[in-house]
Structure 1
């Protein structure tokens, strides 16, 4: 049955019946708005939108994976502030011929990704649209910690990375060339593996700046450099090319470092720390902060695009 057959409110009933709620949800879907506890008295809020044909394709990814990816893009922004995610609000604009089963699987994916970090889908909106669009707003709790912004990096700080980069970009290239393997890369594009605990962990360690790597490591660290008024220099040898990526790059005629340094959608976390910080497992050093401006690799500008720009 299509969404036109079940109707707006029937579809809402089907979706909300599949949701579960964590302890921070005081009032879930069914009223004019949800009520979510904010123990810290401050709320971290962020929003992101995924548009079919630009951010995902239904012939490349199943509904469950698209739901997880939509949730991850927002949850990663919350933890990049050093906060713990609490809730998601989802607005879905969908063509009327889309099957209700597809929407239910999307809802399951959103709920699965949120539940993995103790958050819940607490409401949203639905509308008919010729273009399938998913807009997600995420909320988070700082737990008494100061937010970690992009503006605190200082010369001498260590630059570190939690999570992986380049895998999703490589998977996108593989899929765009009509292939479905290597599976490791394709699955990384379909469903990112976000190092969620690393965000609050970095805040507790005294991280001076942090960012979610969504558009490419060079581009996103460029935001940190600009906000902090510093330069960032990365060490190329800090990035290991995995065998599957090396083989795919050779077969497709791509420099794998273009994926590793400028590829987005893996949602790794990049942070700067005071120079004497002992990094915990899961974080690895990749460079240093210096006086100046911009981002370099081994002291030189990177040749090629630094990351994704929606309008270029």
Structure 2
């Protein structure tokens, strides 16, 4: 059955029936708006849009995969502020011929990813559109900490990474070449493994700046460098290249560091900490902050593509 055959309100009923309220949801889908709770009277908000054929391909990813990716992209932004995600609101623009089952599985993926952090999908909207588009807004709770922005990095800070880099970009390259393995890389493109818990931990450990890596490490660290008015250098030897990535890069004729330095959509967290900070095992140092401006790799300007830009 398609969404046109089901009708808007029938579709909404089918989808919302699959969404369980989380602990912060006081009133979920069914009214004009949802009601969620926050502990310290501040709400962190982020939104993101995924377009079929631009951000995902239905012949590469299942609807459940797309749901995980759509939720993860937004929940990572909340974590990168040092906050704990609490709720998602989803807008679905769908062509009339879209199968209802696809929309249901999308909802399952959204709900499952949100549940990883104790959040839930609390509402949204549907509309007919020739292009399948998913818009997600995430809410978060700072729980008493100050938000970690992009503008606080100081000369002398160390740069540290939580999560993994290059996996999603490697999976994208594999799929683009017509292959479906290594499976670990392809799965990383389909569903990111986001270190959500590391964001609030970093905030409490004194992180001076933080961002999630959605467009590429150099591009996103460049935002911190620009906002903070500092120079940031990363060192290749501080990254661990997994065997699957090295083997795939060799087979495809790609420099694996291109994936690590410029590939996005892993949604790792990268932060700056004062020198001498004792970091948890989830964080590993990958570079340093100095006076000046801009990004360098091993002390030299990077000559390759810096990262993803939607309009280039």
Common fold: TM-score over 0.5: yes
Q: How does 1:259-274 map to 2 (within 5 A)?
A: 259-274=259-274
Greater Cα offset, 210-219 or 248-257? 248-257
Equivalent in the alignment of 1:8: 8
- Provide the C-alpha distance between the structure 2 equivalents of 1:81 and 1:75, rounded to a whole number of angstroms: 10
- Provide the C-alpha distance between the structure 2 equivalents of 1:189 and 1:96, rounded to a whole number of angstroms: 27
- Provide the C-alpha distance between the structure 2 equivalents of 1:240 and 1:201, rounded to a whole number of angstroms: 22
- Provide the C-alpha distance between the structure 2 equivalents of 1:111 and 1:253, rounded to a whole number of angstroms: 38
Give how far 1:240 is off: 2.0
Matched, 1:294 2:294: yes
Matched, 1:32 2:32: yes
Give how far 1:244 is off: 1.1
What is the SS of the residue equivalent to 2:227? helix
- Provide the C-alpha distance between the structure 1 equivalents of 2:193 and 2:140, rounded to a whole number of angstroms: 19
Q: How does 1:1-312 map to 2 (within 5 A)?
A: 1-312=1-312
Give how far 1:236 is off: 0.7
Residue-by-residue CA offset, 1:14-59 (whole Å, 9 max, x unaligned):
0000001112111111111111112210000000000001100000
- Provide the C-alpha distance between the structure 2 equivalents of 1:238 and 1:54, rounded to a whole number of angstroms: 32
Give how far 1:104 is off: 0.3
- Provide the C-alpha distance between the structure 2 equivalents of 1:246 and 1:130, rounded to a whole number of angstroms: 40
Residue-by-residue CA offset, 1:227-255 (whole Å, 9 max, x unaligned):
00000000110112211111111111111
Give how far 1:80 is off: 0.2
- Provide the C-alpha distance between the structure 2 equivalents of 1:2 and 1:52, rounded to a whole number of angstroms: 17
Segments of 5+ residues of structure 1 without an aligned counterpart are none
Superposed structure 1 runs of 4+ greater than 2 Å apart: none
- Provide the C-alpha distance between the structure 1 equivalents of 2:177 and 2:276, rounded to a whole number of angstroms: 45
Residue-by-residue CA offset, 1:167-202 (whole Å, 9 max, x unaligned):
000000110111000101000000000001000000
What is the SS of the residue equivalent to 1:59? coil
- Provide the C-alpha distance between the structure 1 equivalents of 2:252 and 2:54, rounded to a whole number of angstroms: 22
* C-alpha RMSD of the superposition: 0.6
What is the SS of the residue equivalent to 1:87? strand
Give how far 1:166 is off: 0.3
- Provide the C-alpha distance between the structure 2 equivalents of 1:23 and 1:114, rounded to a whole number of angstroms: 12
Instruction: Name the TM-score, length of structure 1 as normaliser.
Output: 0.99
What is the SS of the residue equivalent to 1:22? coil
What is the SS of the residue equivalent to 2:266? coil
- Provide the C-alpha distance between the structure 1 equivalents of 2:184 and 2:303, rounded to a whole number of angstroms: 27
Instruction: Name the TM-score, length of structure 2 as normaliser.
Output: 0.99
What is the SS of the residue equivalent to 1:56? coil
- Provide the C-alpha distance between the structure 2 equivalents of 1:263 and 1:40, rounded to a whole number of angstroms: 36
- Provide the C-alpha distance between the structure 1 equivalents of 2:263 and 2:174, rounded to a whole number of angstroms: 13
